[in-house]
Amino acid sequence: MSRLHKNSYTLQSDTAQLQRDNDYLRDSKADLEREVAELRPERDELRRELSSKRVASTELEAVAREKRVLEQHKNTLAVHIDDLESRIEQLTSAQKTQTPFPAMSLMDSERDYRARMDLDEVPDLETFASQLQHRIAKAEKYVELFYPIEDIRVLLGGLAMSQLHVFQGISGTGKTSLAKAFAKAMGGFCTDIAVQAGWRDRDDLLGHYNAFERRFYEKDCLQALYKAQTPRWEDTCNIILLDEMNLSRPEQYFAEFLSALEKNNPDERLISLSETLLSNAPAMLGEGRKIRVPANVWFIGTANHDETTNELADKTYDRAHVMTLPKQDKRFTIKPFEPANYSYRSLRKAFGKARAEHKEEVIKLLKDLTGDAFTEQLGSQFELGWGNRFEKQALDFIPVMLACGASSGEALDHLLATRIMRPGKVTGRYNVSAETLRNLKGALEEFWISADLAGDPRKSMELLEADIRRLDGRS
C-alpha cells in the first residue's frame, strides 16, 4: 500500500473516531442537561429548606439564651424565697410567744401601773363643788380658767347622770379646757382624741387586729380604757376627750359604746376586740378578747356647730349629759388649794348619799310635772312624754345638783332645756306654730309657780323665746 493511501486511511479512521467521540459527548451532554433539569427543583427545595433551618436555628439559639437567663433568675429567686421563708418562720415563732397587745400587756407588768397610791376622799358635795371651781381655775399651767359655780354644779350632776357628755357652744368657750382641767383637778388622766371626718366604725377609735402579724394596733382610746383598770388608776376619775366629736357621726364610730353604756351592770359593759380568744392576751381582757368600759371613765365630746360638722342624732343626745358653755367673762379671786387625787369610789359614794337624801323630793317633783298641763301640752302638741330614761336621769342628776347648792328649779330647768326644749324636740320644728310655743311657755311658767320652784326656768325660756322670734320672723 502506498504511503499516500495509508495516510488517507488513517485520516478517515481518526475522523470516524472523532465523530463517535463527538456523538458520545453530545449524548452525555444531553444526559447531563436532563439530570441538571431534574436536580434544579430539588436544589431549589434544598435551598429553601436550608434557609428555613437557618431561621429556626437562630430562633433556637435565642430561646436557648433566654432559657439560660431565666434559669439564672430562677436560681436567684430561689435564694430569696428560701431567705424569706426563713425570716417568716423566725417571725412566726417569735410572735407565738409575744402578746398581740404590746402596750396593754406592758401595763400588766410596768411598776408605774401596778403601784397603788393614797387617794383623797371627796368632802360634802357643796364644799367639793366650791373647791373644784378653784382647782379647775388653776389646773392648767399657763392659763387661768374661770367657770361659774353654776357650771361646776351642772358638771357634777352630769357626772352622776351619765358616762357620756357633750360640751357644745361656739369656738373659744372653753369646752376642751374644762374637760382637761377637770381631770387634772381630780388627779386622774385625760386622753385627748382628735375625731377625724370620715370615721365610720369602732376600729377608727379602738384600732384593729392584723391576723398576719398577730398583733392588735391599739389606739389611744383602747389604751386609756385599759389604763383606767390598772391598780394605779382604777380608783381615779378619768376622761376620754373626743375633740370635735361631730366631725363624723358618733352613732357610727361610737355605736358599740352607746350600747355598752346602756347596760345597768357595769361588768357587762364589754366591747369585743376579736371574734376569737387571742393567746397571751393582757390579764384584764374579758375572755382574752373583750375590753370593759370601766365606770371610772367619762367620755366627753366637744361639739361645734358649723358647715363642717354633723348634727348629733337623738340616740346620742338622749344618752348624754349636755352642757352648753357660753363665753366665760366672769373672773373671781382664785383660792389656793394643794393638789389632790380624789377617789372615784368616794365621789360615787357622795353621789349615792345625795340621791338617798333627795330621792323623795325629786319623785314628788316628777309626779307634779307628770300631772301638769305643761306635760299634757307636750303630749298633745309635740308627741313628747317622760320615759324611763328621763326619770332615771332626773333621779341621778337633780339630787347631786341640790347637794351642790343648786335649787330644784335650776336643776329641772337644765334637764328640760337639754332633753326636751332642744332643737328637734320642741324648738327648731316647722310643724308647730309660734302660738303653740307661746301656750307651752305659759304652761311652763304656771307650773313653776304652782310647784313653788325657785327662780325662773331661764334656759328653757330662752330656747322657747328664740324659736318664737324665729317663727314670727323677727329673729
Asked if residue 92 has pLDDT above 60, the reply is no
Please tell me the distance from the alpha carbon of residue 298 to that of residue 192, in angstroms, as a whole number: 12
Q: Which CATH class is domain 102-324?
A: alpha beta
238 dihedral zone (left: phi>0; alpha: psi -120 to 50; beta): beta
Share of the chain above pLDDT 90, in %: 65
- pLDDT in the model for residue 294: 97
Grid coordinates belonging to 185: 383637778
**What pLDDT band is residue 242 in, cutting at 50, 70 and 90?**
very high
Query: 3-state class of 455 per DSSP?
Result: coil
Among 146, 145, 147, 154, smallest CA distance to 125 is for 154
pTM, two decimal places: 0.79
Please tell me the distance from the alpha carbon of residue 277 to that of residue 290, in angstroms, as a whole number: 9
Average pLDDT over residues 114-133: 95
Higher pLDDT, 97 or 31: 31
**What pLDDT band is residue 474 in, cutting at 50, 70 and 90?**
low
Sorted by where each begins, the domain ranges of the chain are 102-324, 344-472
Asked if residue 361 has pLDDT above 70, the reply is yes
Other Cβ atoms less than 10 A from the Cβ of 24: the count is: 10
- pLDDT in the model for residue 414: 97
Share of the chain above pLDDT 70, in %: 95
- Tracing cell 347596760 back to the chain, one arrives at 263
**What pLDDT band is residue 38 in, cutting at 50, 70 and 90?**
confident
Looking at the chain, how many residues does it have? 475
Grid coordinates belonging to 86: 426563713
In 384-447 the beta strands, taken as DSSP E runs, fall at none
Average pLDDT over residues 338-352: 97
Grid coordinates belonging to 30: 444531553
Q: Look over the chain and give the mean of its residue pLDDT values, rounded to a whole number.
A: 90
Asked if residue 327 has pLDDT above 80, the reply is no
- pLDDT in the model for residue 95: 52
Among 471, 387, 460, 383, smallest CA distance to 430 is for 471
Please tell me the distance from the alpha carbon of residue 313 to that of residue 324, in angstroms, as a whole number: 17
| pLDDT tens-digit readout, 61-81 | 888 888 888 888 888 888 888
- H or E stretch at 28: helix 3-96
- pLDDT in the model for residue 247: 92
Please tell me the distance from the alpha carbon of residue 103 to that of residue 214, in angstroms, as a whole number: 14
Among 113, 73, 80, 139, smallest CA distance to 341 is for 139
- H or E stretch at 130: helix 125-137
Query: 3-state class of 272 per DSSP?
Result: strand
Helix, strand, coil shares of the chain, percent, nearest 5, are: 60, 10, 30
| pLDDT tens-digit readout, 192-212 | 999 999 899 999 999 999 888
